[in-house]
Amino acid sequence: MTLIKSISGIRGTIGGAIGDNLTPVDTVKFAAAYGTWLKNNSGKDKNLVVIGRDARISGEMVNKLVTSTLTALGINVIDFGLSTTPTIEMMVTEYQADGGIILTASHNPKQWNALKLLNNKGEFVSGKDGEEILDIAENEAFDFVEVDDLGEYTEDSTGIEKHIAKILEHPLVDIEKIKAAGFKVAIDAVNSTGGISIPPLLDQLGVTYTKLYCEPTGHFPHNPEPLKEHLTEISAKVVEDKADFGIVVDPDVDRLALISEDGEMFGEEYTLVAVADYVLGKVKSPTVSNLSSSRALRDIAQKHGQEYFPSAVGEVNVVEKMKEVGARIGGEGNGGIIFGDLHYGRDSLIGIALFLTHLAEKKLKVSELRAEYPSYFMSKNKIQLTPEIDVDDLLKKVEKHYADQEVNTIDGVKIDFPTEWVHLRKSNTEPIIRVYTESTSQEEADELANKMITIVKSLI
């Protein structure tokens, strides 16, 4: 089964059987559920939804299904076409819409697509709202309007332009310093919408660039998740072009990975660390990242005399914690930067602008900047379980086993040791426990993971 229904949206592979894959029927059903939820909760006679998509091959088809379903419910739709996730998040508030939908399966391969659902703040719907939408879909509790009440459909091609303008207006983005630095970069946009959003941003900032896979054809030339093993071509190009660094994004442009001038990965965990270092050098603010993100962000916050707060895994949880503690900068260790001054969503474009300003001020090579930050190494593993095992009970046994350590249970069990940590989370879709560890060397991170797996199995 490759149809995943969750509180944040619906995701699946194109084609196949109804209920097992993301078929047209499933797409319409879920779009109708979202539209019905919106109408039930907005208190308005007429609702407005903004929509955009990444460049994947199925995007245009899915777009037609979703927009037609929404207008059939009497909802007005503004379609921004090829766009980015952060752009659509910003357009919700820019146009005072009641919600938004982004058609993207993020870092999943081209066979996949998804509906990511936004509320009227341009943020992902909450768990409670997501459950309500799932319930409406399950019961098919929607009612379409008569012909005179159909919603209006309009197209708008200015979303990315408006997004970039907001970035350039922010005082922490120093356009003149960036221009004076004379940067040259290489871009890998995996043939999606990073190719139509990053170049115009760099043009405005006076940065020269070479492009790799920047045509939004949806034919991803490599696995679109921006991990080291998928980025050999752009790493070689950075060195070949003598670029200052490389920029890599996923298909919907909410994850940012950087490559140093020597072709080495800057480290996806360190994108947020570097940007936070810059922001905290200018403003006083707590920082937030999820429990599975690097300890390096906590170290940087402490360096600037600021507090660090962990959140449960998931962007909506990071955003909730950022608002709770008043954090202007936060995110996820997968290259997801959330800069609350602009909007509460992961945004590679503001990340690029802030990183360029930081680099212009530091006057360092990117590899030298990376060397200024504490080095941590991660290991990601899983423990396969049989379906009858009570995972929650097992995690409680782990918590009790480490009662003399610093333990956090807001999302699974995280145990903080003096120089390393381990985070155990149960999967929502399969009988496994995910085991994330971090230490001061790869060998020690792997060793901690193996030790933890042994201990967990002994407690079964």
- Left (φ > 0), alpha (ψ -120 to 50) or beta: where does 4 sit? beta
SS3 118: strand
User: Given CA atoms 149, 153, 158, 163 in this order, what sign does their dihedral have?
Assistant: positive
Cα separation, 460 vs 456, whole angstroms: 7
Cα separation, 254 vs 194, whole angstroms: 9
Tokens describing residue 150: 């159909």
Nearest-CA neighbor of 273 among 303, 247, 250?
Answer: 303
Phi and psi torsions of 346, nearest 5°: -65, 135
Cα separation, 22 vs 11, whole angstroms: 7
Nearest-CA neighbor of 350 among 111, 173, 132?
Answer: 173
Active-site pick, 8, 106, 192, 379: 106
Query: Is 58 noted as a catalytic residue in this protein?
Result: no
Nearest-CA neighbor of 82 among 217, 277, 205, 207?
Answer: 217
**The total number of residues written for the chain in this structure:** 460
Cα separation, 260 vs 279, whole angstroms: 21
User: Would strands 287-290 and 308-311 be described as parallel, antiparallel, or unpaired?
Assistant: parallel
Cα separation, 273 vs 231, whole angstroms: 21
Q: Which DSSP string corresponds to 217-285?
A: -S--SS-SS--GGG-HHHHHHHHHTT-SEEEEE-TTS--EEEE-TTS-B--HHHHHHHHHHHHHTTS--
> What is the H or E stretch that residue 415 is in?
strand 413-416
Beta carbons of 54 and 103 less than 8 angstroms apart = yes
Residues whose CB falls within 8 Å of the CB of residue 226, separated by 6 or more in sequence, listed in order = 107, 248, 249, 250, 255, 256, 257, 268, 335
Beta carbons of 186 and 243 less than 8 angstroms apart = yes
Residues marked as catalytic = 106
